[in-house]
Amino acid sequence: MFKTFLFSLISSLIMTNNEKPIATYSMHVEGKDIVITDIIYIMNDDDNDNIDIIACTENKGELHKIGCPNSITAKGCDVVKSSIYNKKGEVISQFCSDSYIIGCFLLEEVLKHNPKLAKDMEELPYAFAIIRNFTGDITFTIKEEKVYDEKMPILNIRGKGNINFHSDYEPGYFDED
């Protein structure tokens, strides 16, 4: 009986520890178009002087310096959940993650900072997840998840508001490989 109690206690502690996020970053938006993409896609050539890319991994990149104060950024690992699903589990958009540092930005701020992105967004729609007229909260949560028998920090994106969306893999995603 003691073994059962001890095993239950240890299992509970392990499960509780795994469920805790490593980091969480949030932003609120009122009736704006948002874009989710890799931070390198929004940058101009001279932005390296203004943005600390490494600090963006923990939402500390000071993007207000380039005119994007309403944003959140975080780093996942090399397994990135780059599809955005609606609450029915249908893919509504996708984004690229070449540097694995993902951001959610107000579209108007990004285009003001880098006007050439309008053309890029048309030509490369898979690189920029755009959600129009969003009101609500966007949350980036980094949790340690088991991927290919290894625990890795994985970035999950959630939008809760007039449009609910998420970036989690669909069940069985890895079973198909």
17 in a domain, yes or no? no
The total number of structural domains that make up the chain: 1
164 in a domain, yes or no? yes
- As a whole number of angstroms, the distance between CA 150 and CA 147 comes to 5
- Where in the sequence is the domain holding 118, given as residue range(s)? 22-176
Residue 8 CB neighbour total at 10 angstroms: 10
Token digits of residue 162: 């007039």
Pairing assessment for the beta strands 165-166 and 83-86 based on DSSP bridges? antiparallel
H or E element, residue 158? strand 150-161
- As a whole number of angstroms, the distance between CA 95 and CA 173 comes to 18
Give the amino acid at 7. F
pLDDT in tens, 122-156: 999 889 999 999 999 999 998 887 777 888 888 88
**3 state SS of 6:** helix
Residue 54, CA distances (Å) to 40, 48, 64, 70, 128 in order: 12, 11, 16, 19, 21
44-58, 132-146, 156-170, range with the lowest pLDDT: 44-58
Say which residue the tokens 């669909």 belong to: 170
Residue 136: per-residue pLDDT: 97
pLDDT in tens, 86-109: 888 889 999 988 888 899 999 999
9 in a domain, yes or no? no
14 in a domain, yes or no? no
4 in a domain, yes or no? no
- How much is the pTM? 0.81
Residue 123, CA distances (Å) to 36, 39, 57, 131 in order: 16, 18, 27, 17
Token digits of residue 168: 């989690």
Q: Which percentage of the chain shows pLDDT scores above 70?
A: 81
59 in a domain, yes or no? yes
12 in a domain, yes or no? no
40 in a domain, yes or no? yes
- As a whole number of angstroms, the distance between CA 22 and CA 17 comes to 10
